[in-house]
Structure 1
Amino acid sequence: MLKRISTIKNIGTYKDCNGRQSQFEKLTLVYGRNTYGKSTLGDIFSSLKSGESTTLSARKSIPDDGLAQKVELNFLDADGKKEVKAIFNNDDWKNKLPGHLRLAVYDDAFYHQNVFLGRTLTRNTKESFSDFILGSQGVVKAENIAAKNKELKEKKSDLKKLVQSEFSKVDELKSFIAEPVIADIDATKEELDKKREEYALLNSQKKASKAIRERKNLFPLKVATDFSEAVTAINTVLKTGLDNPHEAAKEELNRHIEKHFIKPEGAEQWIKQGLSLLDGDNCHFCGQAITPQANELLDLYRQCFDDQFARHEGYVKSTVAQHHPLLTKYWIEQLISSIQKAGLVIDSYPELSLIDEVPELISNIEKSHDSIQKKLDELNLLAVQIIGEFNVRIETKLADPKKSFEVVDTAQFELLIKNITSDVADLNSDYQTFNKRANEFKARFEGHQIEKALEHLKLQGTGLALKVERYEKNDACINHMTLLKNISDLEEDIPKLKESLRNEQSAFLNQYFTKINKHFNDLGSRDFKLEYKHEPLGNKPIYSFKVKFKGADIAENDLDKIFSESDRRSLGLSIFLASLDSLEDKTLAKTIIVFDDPVTSFDENRVGQTHSKLVKLADKCQQVIMLSHFKDGVANFLKVHGFSKNDIALIEIKKNALGSYLEVGNKDAFVKSAHHLNTEELIDFVERNTDKLSCKPRVYLEEVLSLRFSKQIRKKQITNESLSKRIDALSEEKIVSQDIAKQLHDWREELNPEHHVWMDDDIENQRTTISSFLEFVFYELVPEPVGEV
């Protein structure tokens, strides 16, 4: 059974698809919109069945990035326990369908190849039809064919065992067998041994050299001083105050001006200018000595114009602005991170544990790390406390710069910083010692010529080993060539014998066409009957069909007029199903059947009958996989059969900017109506499960009215011309109250995107609006209790 499509690369819309999480079950439905890649999956299955790669090569993704196409399909092994892969790579199926499984594919290619090309029968379609139905017979009548099939199986088994036992380590078996057998084996073996010894010696020096040389060293740790410097600077500011006599001097100056100046205007400026002209103990204007009383007045003037307070306030603000941002514990986190990185570097040198003294050094470093880490944790808590206290006191100081304040106590913090700084200095010394040992160790792995010499020896050794192995396995090679010849002869004879056997198929054809007619009738084409006929085209016996409609023969040229498209498609499916009916039970039980859009009609009877046949078929075969772009059909399948069978898987083909991908489908959500999905989307939006709202609330309101009052609307023949008129009619017919009708009109206007009230609103306001809207819809929107509805 197919368990998963793990990889599809560069095929159609699948640029780089990883489908490992999408698990297939006994009956698997794969849904994908048109252009999403459903038909590509069908082509992959068809290519795996036929082994032909042209179809997939032609589906290379656009634009072509030059990368190879690749497909990996995971199947359960014969025991059903392990997964084995079928792999398509480099335009070929490297690993094909596992031998215990068969694959049958019904798709467009089957229909056009075996039934109708377009709307007509052609010689090619008749020949393919004949090959298909005769090839489906499971009864082997000729003992000769049975014996040859058995022999072929045994030969292939012998060949497989031979390859596994003798050639399991041979990469290119065909080239290996074609290699000439040497004569002097002893000299070749001696030369090979010599090359191996040389290679082993060089390899012991080379191993892991590049990775070791690229290992990192320890970087010295550094305890940042910005925080401590900021603490000192801001504490200095906090305790610095200013006793300023400036204000008292200002008042005294004003009294002096009022007393001694006739015109007070400009007096301050005149006095200030006079102070700047004083030079020595004599008056600048009259030359007389300045008296003590005059000096007292001059001191009063100087105090008045002193700018000490302004300078002090500037000093406080600039100091705080410079150092306040440095009060952060980010440096503590950096130091912790550096210690953690140092631990990783040490762990990358496991070899140093074998060097004397290094294990003790590493142990000391780890102990230092633990000790410093604990102190840093304590320091972190102190930093948070100190920063908080500084924030409060800085705010108070800036409000009153001249006042002195109590400093923040950082003694414990500074002591801890001092201890950590001392520990880090000792640790850095250990780091230096460790780096020295590490560099000595890495220096032993230099030497770029080792790589070239090893590669040269490897090539020489590989060539010699190939010659020795070819000599030693010569008998096995002869056996292999004999088995291949036998298998080739059998594979050529058996098809010829089968062709001869097809001439005896009349009884089989009667049974086969009975099954075709049964399926054709079940699928809705009840007035038709098909009979087989022999086509005299060349030497090869070919069978086609003739059609009767209500008992009358229909000319082949008129089939396109009698058959509808649904009839033609149903006929193709009936032929395919009849071929499955003709298989032996054990053959059918190991067959995986893929249906690519088996239902092309929207007729409910055809859809239902097709689905029922697939469900019954799944009970007999290995697995049924249905690919479909018909969403309603898949939903109908799940509604009818999803509850009676627990082994149905739903996988959806999704598409994004990078290409198509596979995703496990939500069967419950898949069968929900659009209105149900819109309701869930609105609730999710209110509950903040999503920030996107694709549903239009005003349209949702119209749907609610149509569903809630569908019976009344139909009975009263209420117009659907506009939402406004419908609301008015519901009120006039007393289906809803006037109050409810008014609220409906209010919601109609508020949710109308044309008025931009809804679309341009803030998302949280939108959520509030939708919450109120849903409360109204679910709890308040009720019919008018009075009156006939």
Structure 2
Amino acid sequence: MLRRIAEIKNVGTFSNCVARHIGFEKITLIYGRNTYGKSTLGDIFYSLEKNEADVITARKSIPVPIDGCAQSVKLQFASDDENENQGISYFRGDSWAQGLRESHKLKIFNDAFYHDHVFASRKFSRETKVNFSQFILGAQGVARANQIKDLRSDKRNHTARKTTLLRDVFADVGNIEAFLASPLIDNPDQQRAQKDALEAEKHELVKQRGGLGIIRNRPELIVLTDDYTSLIRFFDEINGIFSTTLDTLHEQAKTQLVAHVEKNFAQSRGGEHWIQQGLKYGKNENCQFCGQALLDDALALLGSYRQYFDDEFDRHDAFVKQELDRIGACIETNIFMEMANNVKLNWQYWERYPDIHEFEAVKQELGPLSQAIDVLLNSANRELIAIRSAFTERTQNKRAKPHYEVERLNVEGISGSIAVLGESLDAYNTLVDRITCI
């Protein structure tokens, strides 16, 4: 059954009818005065039942609506177990775009039914309707109808203009009626000039506020630290270990051991360690290989060995190796290249501050100082690499013979570079602190 008339536009007296809030029951009575649209409803239902679009197109509203003559009808049908949205019939573009479903029944018994079954013809063209309307209304009525049409058009245009003004011009005005009732300005040109000046001032303030945000988000320059100064202490400790000897060793045993190693070993390096390990395997005065008793000369030689490799030797050997491992790790640093990278970053950071009034003056100081420090850092890094290489080579010799003195590291060059670097860093960091305070 028909549940609702959702929409009728530009059909007969219904120029823009939206009645979706009114529902139909099993028995619904529609009544009204003449020309109020009862016959129009009958024709709409008849057009849907027969799928004859010309019944509706012949009933375009008179006068022509201000939004054109496009016609549309939307009816909602549903049986007891259906939803209204499942049975929607549309009239669009001079045809029923969506007609009745098979489950819906519609039978119309209006004057059209009688004309179809009783009279020979029922033709009433639009031109006839227009002429008939003008005849009934008369010239004055037609003029009034056109005047109403024009007034409606003007009202719609003014409403659209009002909406645009409220959105684009008066959006910041709290009470529009009070604003419109305010007195006119005596000198509009002066007021307009003041307004333009205030707008320009506002623009500059907004620009400055945005600039302050950009400046706050810029990175600050990095202060260079002097963590490298500990390298001098490490170098002194290394040279101290390289210079250590085992003074408690007996010179006679030492001489005899050295002579034996040179005579009986293809390579003297590592010979002492081999003998030291061998003594640990001996349990008595017999040979460790064949078990025979050793002669007096052999026993005397073993006694010299044992005297040489006493507990003090083991303690000294362990101390040297442990210290070389510890200090060797301390000089495996890349501190100078990290500082050089920070110098480059500081220069890049300062390039982002061209809007500061002291930019060029600071740049003239920062540039040469950065170049000088970069040269010193690269020089110190090369010297550090050379020292690490010498340390590796001499450490091997010291590990093989921990009780012998090995050549000390030459650290005069890097010590001088570090001293000069310290003076330059003081000037550099002073400039960085001054930049931070700008």
Which TM-score band applies after superposition, normalised by the shorter structure?
0.3 to 0.5
TM-score w.r.t. the length of structure 1 is 0.26
Q: Indicate the structure with greater strand content.
A: 1
